[in-house]
Amino acid sequence: MQEDTRIPPDLARYSRQVLFRPLGPDGQRALRQARMAVVGMGALGTAIATQLVRAGVGFVRLIDRDIVEASNLQRQVLYDEADAAAFRPKAVAAAEKLRAANTEVELEPVVADLTAANAETYLADVDVILDGSDNFQVRYLINDVAVKHGIPWAYGGAVASYGTTGFIRPGETPCLVCLFGDDPGGGHDTCDTVGVIAPIVQIIAALQVAEVLKWCAGRREALRPGLMAVDVWANEFRTVRYPPRAPECRCCGQRQFTALEAGSGALTVSLCGRRTVQVRPHQPLAIPLERLGARLSRAGRTVVQPYALRFEPGDGTAITLFPDGRALIHGVDDEAAARGLYARYIGM
């Protein structure tokens, strides 16, 4: 095949994107200069990160607190059975797969829980933030950092067969607090209660990335003027125009960043519905996993990896411990039981 003279040689691998006129060589170079963070590397996050990395975004930070499980593989497209068998942290497994897809992109996997204490560290130094999280606690953290530092962010959520997305630009569009207040209401359906099918996740992720591509290329006129709600089972695609910004909004109006002031959070956090509870010490620790693993191996099956330790005492529960002291306690339903197991095997 003859070389396409319309494509600068350094952009050859992106030729199909560069040929798309609204992007062109300038848009492609803007993508190469861009720094982005993806919060959550579940179904949405893996779909988002795949597109960003293949598109040639210069720097992508991948943030996730969890490990790969077999039940993720139905929709979390970067993982495979070997990742689940090895209990690999999602951020690490994702970075490895993405590195193979595009070595030009600088990838930074972060195995951590996004909290008020670290949100600015991980999010304030990027140009765009993409939401791949599954809860509003994290989204309010993202929104506070975004408004405080003037960073646009792509909100996205998907459950069952429906999802919602919006591209929030501080100062231009309403922020998350303008749109939903500080409490979007409890009792939301979650993927753990009503399930989720892969097509809606892929659609919402694609809509998030599309807005980010437009924004990066400076194509403001093409940006969607509101939230988009999609239901692939009911065949609905709806754009809900943004209302005006709320002048009294505590976040983008009064610049009160209460989500960021909430301290480092509780000692325990329940992960919704799938018999896993997260336990986190107030201060990050530096746990020598090898040494602890040697001790725990006398009490049950123990696997020590560079990023995490997995321990199964044999009663149907399991502990995944990270070097900073954070642990996922599997096979329990309540926080007290999780705290008990943590105290018993990790010690506090």
Question: For binding to Zn ion (CB under 5 A), which residues are involved?
Answer: 175, 177-178, 249, 251-252
CB 129 within 8 A of CB 36: yes
Q: How many whole angstroms separate alpha carbon 148 and alpha carbon 123?
A: 11
Place of tokens 């325990």: 268
Beta carbon of residue 168, minimum distance to Zn ion (angstroms, whole number): 9
- Comparing CB distances to Zn ion, the nearer of 65 and 148 is 148
- Comparing CB distances to Zn ion, the nearer of 175 and 329 is 175
The secondary structure element, H or E, covering residue 153 is strand 153-159
Beta carbon of residue 254, minimum distance to Zn ion (angstroms, whole number): 9
Question: To 10 degrees, what angle do helices 43-55 and 198-216 make?
Answer: 40
- Comparing CB distances to Zn ion, the nearer of 10 and 172 is 172
The secondary structure element, H or E, covering residue 301 is strand 301-304
Beta carbon of residue 251, minimum distance to Zn ion (angstroms, whole number): 5
Place of tokens 């500080």: 182
Out of 178, 191, 249, 252, the active site residue is: 191
Q: How many whole angstroms separate alpha carbon 173 and alpha carbon 244?
A: 7
Q: How many whole angstroms separate alpha carbon 75 and alpha carbon 160?
A: 12
**Residue 272 falls in the annotated catalytic set:** no
Beta carbon of residue 63, minimum distance to Zn ion (angstroms, whole number): 23
- Comparing CB distances to Zn ion, the nearer of 223 and 246 is 246
Please give the positions annotated as active site.
191
